[in-house]
Amino acid sequence: MGFFDTRITKLFGIQYPIIQGGMAAGLVSTAELAAAVGNAGGIGFMCAIQWMDDVHKLEEEIKKIKDLTDKPYGINVTLFPMIEASWFDAVFELIKKYEVPAIETSARSPQPWLEQIKGLGIPWIHKVARIRDGVKAAKLGADAVTIIGSEEGGHPGAERNATSVVGPLLVDEVDVPVAIGGGFCDGRGLVAVLAMGGEAVYMGTRFCASEECIIHPKVKQKLVEMAYNETDYILMSVGDPVRAVRNSRTQKILEIEEKEGADGVTKFMAEDSGGLGLGGLTAMNTGDVEQGILPLGMVGGRIKEVKPVQQIVDEIVAEADEVLQKLSARKYWKA
Amino acid sequence: MIETRLTKMMGIKHPIVCGGMMRLAYPPLCAAISNAGGLGNLTSAMYDGKESLQAAIREVRELTDKPFIVNVTLLPSIALGPEQYMAFFDACAEERVPAMEIGGVPLDRFEGGKYFKKLKDAGVKLFHKVGSVKHGKHAEEAGYDGVIAAGVEEGGHPLNENVTTTVLTPRMAEELSIPVITAGGMVNGRSLAAALCLGAEGILMATRFINTHECRVHDKVREELIRRNENETVLYGNTIGLQGRALLNDSIRKVMEIESRGGGLDEILPLISGTYGDEIWQKGNMNIGLIPVGQSIGLIHDTVSCRELLDRIVREAEEVLSHNTGRFS
C-alpha cells in the first residue's frame, strides 16, 4: 500500500492527495463513487443537495457508504442561500449522528454556518473560485481550502481566472493547505498541482468517467468523445456562469444571451428546460446529451476511457511518480 | 540547471523564453534576458522595415553573444502590409537570427512558404505560437522546430477557443513530438515546474518581464502591475473578430460597453490605437489605451533584474521538483 504525504492527506487520513469533489447535477457524487475513491486511497465527497427534496435519502446514502467502505469519505454542503435553514440543520445533524469523517463546503461564504460547521469537530475543507473567498475561508478557520480555475466544469466562478494563476496565488495567500482543481485528470495534473504548491489535486470530470459514477452511460460516452475545446461558458450574463459540454442547448443559451441578455435567458431557462428538470441538469442521469446541460470541464477532452475508480487512482499515482522520476533521470536539476 | 530539449536546441542555460511585446521588447531588454541565460525577444513590428530591424538585430548582438528570438506576428494588421512582413523575414534570414517566434498565420502559408524555407535554410529555429492542438499539429507537419502553447490566461491575443494552460499544454504534448513551450500564466518557479510536469520543455513569459529593471517603462507601470490583481484583466474584441486580453482600465471599459451594444471597429479603434503607446509605457498613464497583460499580474509582486528573475525562477523550480521526487512510496 503506497502513500504520498501532504498536509491534506494527513488532515483526512488518506493515502494519496486526490480529492473527488462534491458534484450535483441530478445524481453524480453518490455513495458508490465516494466509497470507491476512498477505497482507492483518495477521498470522495457526496453532495448533500442531491437529496435536497428529502433529507432521509441522504441518510440512506450515508448508511450505504458505511457498508461500502471503512475508509474516510465526506459530505459536501453547498451553501446556497435560497435553501431553508432547517434543511441545513438536518444535514449537520446527520453528519454528527453518523460520524461522517469530513465536510466540504462550497458556493457561498461559510460565515453564517460557522458555529455548526466547527461544532462538528471534523476536518473541514471549503471550495472557492476567487482568491478573496479563499483567504476569507482560511481566516474563518477552514482546515484547508480548494481553489478551482475557470477550466473546471460546473460553476467555475465569474472571474474566469485560470488554474495556472489562482492555484499558486492562493498557496501564497493562506497558511492552510490548498487543494487545486480545474483542468486535471491524470498523474501529470497531480504533479503539476504539487509543483504549484498545492497539497492535493481536486477532480470532478475525471471521476464522472468512472464505472462507479451513477451518471448515464450516454453522458460518459459524450465525455470520452468530447474535444478539449468543446465546452461552453454559459449564463455569464446572469452572473452565475456554468461551464458545460457544447451541445444544442448550450449554443441556444449563448445565442439568447447575446441577443436578449440576462432577462431573455432567465425567461428562457424558466420556460424551457429542454423537457428536463433542474434547468436541464437531470440530463446527467437521463442521458439526454443534446437537450440537457452537462456541466463537465475542459479536461473531458483529455479523458478517453471510462474506467474503474481504483484503476484511475492507481494510474494517476503511477504516472505522477513516473513523470517526476523521468524529469529527475534526465538530469533536469541537480538534487 | 534545468536542461530540456529547448535548452539543448537553442544552446541556452534556462528553459525560459521572452514573448513578443510591442514597445517593450527592444534590444536592451532582449540582450539582458539572453545574458541572464534565457531567450530574449526582439519584436519586429516596432521597426519600419528591413534596415531598421537589421540595425536592431545588430544592436542585440553588440549587447550579447547569446541566442535570442525575433517575434513576427502575422496578423491581418491595419498597420503592416505583406511587404513589411517580407522585409522582416529577409532581415532575419540575412542576419541568421537564432530563432523566431511566429504568431498568427503559419509562416508556411505566407507567400507560398517561400520565407519559411528561406529562414530554415538560414538555420533559423522556428517556433509557432498556437492556441489549439489543430494549429500545433499543422506547425509540426510544416516543419516548425517547436510550438508555443498559449493558454487563454495570456495577455495579448489568446485564441478564442479559450483553452487554459492546464489543459492545452498536456493536450499539445501528447499529440506532438516537437518541443512544446507553455505560455499563459507563467510567472515564477512553480509555474515552470508545473509546466514541465504537464509535458512542456520550457515556458514563455512576457508580462513578467515588464517588471524587470531592464525593461524601459515608467516606474508607475511596474507599480501598477504589482498593485493590480489576477482578476483585473478582461477579454475583449470578439465582436470585431480579434480577441484580446488587456488590463481593465477606462479605455477597455468603454470598449466593452461599445461591444455590448453592438458598436463597431470604427468606434473601438480610437480607444485602443497604438498611438497611446508612449503615454502608457513612458509616462505611466495606465488608464488609457490597451495594455495587453495576462492574468499573471496577480502573481507579480516586485521588480528585479532579469538575471535575478531567471535565477530565482530556476532555483524555485528545482526546489519544488526535487522536493516532490521520490516521495511516492
Query: B289 and B149, same structural domain?
Result: no
Q: Where does the pLDDT of residue A333 fall: very low under 50, low under 70, confident under 90, or very high at 90 and above?
A: very low
CB-CB under 8 Å, B171 with A228: yes
Query: What are the pLDDT digits (tens) for A90-139?
Result: 999 999 999 999 999 999 999 999 999 999 999 999 999 999 999 999 99
> B45 with B189, same domain?
yes
Instruction: List the single residue in A with minimal CA-CA distance to B239.
Output: A258
Q: Which of B166, B257, B325 to mutate to test the interface with A (most CBs of A within 10 A)?
A: B166
Contacts of B14 in chain A (CB under 8 A): none
d(CA B201, CA B179): 6
The dihedral through the CA atoms of B273, B275, B276, B280 has a sign that is positive
CB contact under 8 A, A324 and B328: yes
Closest partner CB to A196 (pick from B3, B170, B190)? B190
* A219: pLDDT strictly greater than 90: yes
Q: Which residues pair with B234 in a beta bridge?
A: B246
Kindly list the residues from chain A whose CB atom is less than 8 angstroms away from the CB atom of residue B160.
none
Whose cell is 475543507? That residue is A125
Cβ separation of A189 and B199 shorter than 8 Å? no
Could you tell me which residues come within 8 angstroms of residue A155 by beta carbon, excluding any fewer than 6 positions away?
A107, A129, A240, A241, A242, A295
Comparing A197-211, B67-81, B253-267, which segment has the lowest mean pLDDT? B67-81
Distance CA A38, CA A257 (A): 41
The pLDDT of residue B326 is 76
Task: Compute CA A72 distance to the chain's CA centroid, rounded to the nearest angstrom.
Answer: 17
User: Are B47 and B110 in a shared domain?
Assistant: yes
pLDDT at A279 (0 to 100)? 82
- Residues A251, A112 within the same domain: no
Residues B178 and B260 in one domain: no
Judging contacts by C-beta atoms under 8 Å, the chain B residues touching residue A327 are 196-197, 321, 325
In this prediction, residue A330 carries a pLDDT of 66
Q: Which of A4, A184, A195 sits opposite B327 (nearest CB)?
A: A4
CA-to-CA distance for B205 and B222, rounded, in angstroms?
A: 16
In a domain, B316, yes or no: yes
Query: A189 vs B231: CB contact, 8 Å cut-off?
Result: no
Q: What per-residue confidence (pLDDT) applies to B78?
A: 62
Number of domains in chain A: 2
Task: Print the domain residue range for A209.
Answer: 7-216+302-329
The reply to whether residue A321 touches residue B167, judged by beta carbons under 8 angstroms, is no
Asked if the Cβ–Cβ distance from B231 to A159 is below 8 Å, we say yes
Task: Choose among B189, B165, B197, B181: nearest CA to B299.
Answer: B189
The C-alpha cell 530565482 sits at: B312
- Write out chain A residues lying below 8 Å of B317, CB-based: 195, 333
Would B285 be classed as within a structural domain? yes
The verdict on residue B57 lying in a domain is: yes
DSSP for A86-97?
A: HHHHHHHHHHHH
Q: Which three cell numbers stand for residue A238?
A: 446572469
Asked whether residue B120 falls in the same domain as residue B18, the answer is yes
In a domain, A62, yes or no: yes
Considering the domain architecture, whether residues B233 and B315 belong to the same structural domain is answered as no
Quick one: pLDDT at residue B77?
65
Question: Where does the pLDDT of residue B241 fall: very low under 50, low under 70, confident under 90, or very high at 90 and above?
Answer: confident
Q: Do the bridges between strand A43-47 and strand B180-183 make them parallel or antiparallel, or are there none, so unpaired?
A: unpaired
| Min Cα separation B260/chain A (Å) | 9
Identify which of B2, B231, B322 has the shortest CB distance to residue A161.
B231
B-chain residue closest to A164, CA distance: B185
Share of chain B above pLDDT 70, in %: 98
**What CA–CA distances, in Å, run from B145 to B154, B170, B177, B203?**
22, 18, 10, 15
The answer to whether B186 contacts A168, with C-beta atoms less than 8 Å apart, is: no
What's the total number of domains in chain B? 2
A281-306 core/surface letters (b: 16 or more CB in 10 A; e: else): bbbbbbbbbebbbbbbbbbbbbbeeb
**pLDDT computed for residue B327 by the predictor:** 76
Residue A61, pLDDT score: 98
Task: Output the average pLDDT for chain B.
Answer: 95
**Cβ-based neighbours of A287, under 8 Å, separated by 6 or more:** A216, A217, A218, A219
> Which member of A194, A299, A320 has the closest CB to residue B167?
A299
What's the distance, Cα to Cα, between the start and end of chain B in Å? 26
Which residues of chain B lie closer than 8 angstroms to A197, CB-CB?
190, 320
Q: How far is CA B70 from the centre of its chain?
A: 10
Does the residue A44 lie in any domain? yes
B296 to chain A: which residues are within 8 Å by CB? Answer: 165
Range of the domain at B258: 219-295
**A325 lies in the same domain as A254:** no
Contact call for residues A54 and A15 (beta carbons, < 8 A): no
* Contact criterion met (CB below 8 Å) for B251 and B287: yes
Same domain, B13 and B76: yes
Q: A111 CB contacts (<8 Å, ≥6 apart)?
A: A136, A140
Average pLDDT in the A20-36 region? 96
Q: Are residues B154 and B254 in the same domain?
A: no
Top pLDDT among A274 and A85 is at A85
- Residue B175 in any domain: the answer is yes
Q: Do A183 and A82 fall into the same domain?
A: yes
DSSP conformational letter for B20: P
Q: What local confidence, expressed as pLDDT, does residue A334 receive?
A: 44
How far, in Å, CA of A165 to CA of B295, rounded?
7
**Three-state SS at A245:** strand
On whether residue A335 sits in a domain, the answer given is: no
pTM: 0.96
For residue A35, pLDDT over 70 is answered with yes
Question: Quick one: A36 exposed, middle or buried, by C-beta within 10 A (0-12, 13-18, 19+)?
Answer: buried
Whether residue B270 lies inside any domain: the answer is yes
* CB-based contact A162 B325, cutoff 8 Å: no
> What integer pLDDT is reported at residue A332 of this predicted model?
52
ipTM of the complex: 0.95
| Cβ separation B170–A189 shorter than 8 A | yes
- CATH number, domain of B56, equals 3.20.20.70
| Residue at A2 is within a domain | no
> Per the CB < 8 Å rule, is A168 touching B196?
no
Minimum mean pLDDT range among A273-287, B220-234, B238-252: A273-287
Most B CBs within 10 Å: which of A10, A133, A164, as the mutation test of the B interface?
A164
**Cα–Cα distance for residue pair B45/A266, rounded to 1 Å:** 46
* B194 contacts in chain A (CB < 8 Å): 164, 167-168, 192-193, 195-196
Tell me, rounded to whole angstroms, the distance of Cα B186 from its chain centroid: 11
**Exposure b/e, B206-231, CB count within 10 A at least 16 = b:** bbbbbbbebbebbeebbebbeebbbb
**A191 and A226 inside one domain:** no
Q: Are residues B70 and B201 in the same domain?
A: yes
Q: For strands A200-203 and A178-181, give the pairing.
A: parallel
A334 domain-assigned: no
Q: Cα separation of A129 and A147, whole Å?
A: 6
Domain identity same for B39 and B57: yes
In a domain, A221, yes or no: yes
Say whether pLDDT at B179 is over 80: yes
Q: Which residue in the set A166, A195, A323 is minimally distant from B190, CB to CB?
A: A195
- Give the residue from chain A lying closest to B3, CA to CA: A332
Neighbours of B241 (CB within 10 A): 9
- Segment B2-27, tens digit of pLDDT: 999 999 999 999 999 999 999 999 99
Helix or strand run (H / E) with residue B195: helix B189-197
Residues A37 and A153 in one domain: yes
Q: Which of A15, A333, A334 to mutate to test the interface with B (most CBs of B within 10 A)?
A: A333
Nearest-neighbour CA in chain B from A151: distance (Å)? 7
- pLDDT of the residue at A335: 40
Would residue B92 count as lying in a domain? Answer: yes
Instruction: Assess whether A306 and A226 both reside in one domain.
Output: no
Rounded CA-CA distance B198/A305 in Å is 20
Domain presence at residue B329: no
Residues on chain A touching B184 (C-beta within 8 angstroms): 162, 164
What was the pLDDT predicted at B260? 87
Residue B82 has pLDDT above 50, yes or no: yes
Contact A180, A163 (CB under 8 A): yes
- A163 and B168 within 8 Å at the Cβ level: the answer is no
Contact residues, chain B, for A5 at CB < 8 Å: 327
Out of A160, A184, A233, the one facing B166 most closely (by C-beta) is A184
Contact flag A166-B191 (C-beta cutoff 8 Å): no
Note whether A196 and A169 are same-domain residues.
yes
Tell me the nearest-neighbour CA distance from B210 into chain A, angstroms: 17
Nearest to A77 by CA among A60, A97, A98, A93: A93
Q: Please report which helix (H) or strand (E) contains residue A114, including its range.
A: helix A114-119
Return the CATH number at A114: 3.20.20.70
Do B175 and B315 lie in one domain? The reply is yes
**Cβ–Cβ gap B164/A164 under 8 Å:** yes
Q: Which three cell numbers stand for residue A125?
A: 475543507
Indicate whether B128 and B255 sit together in one domain. Answer: no
Q: To the nearest whole angstrom, how far is the Cα of A331 from the nearest Cα of chain B?
A: 7
Q: Which of A161, A189, A298 sits opposite B230 (nearest CB)?
A: A161
**B167 assigned to some structural domain:** yes
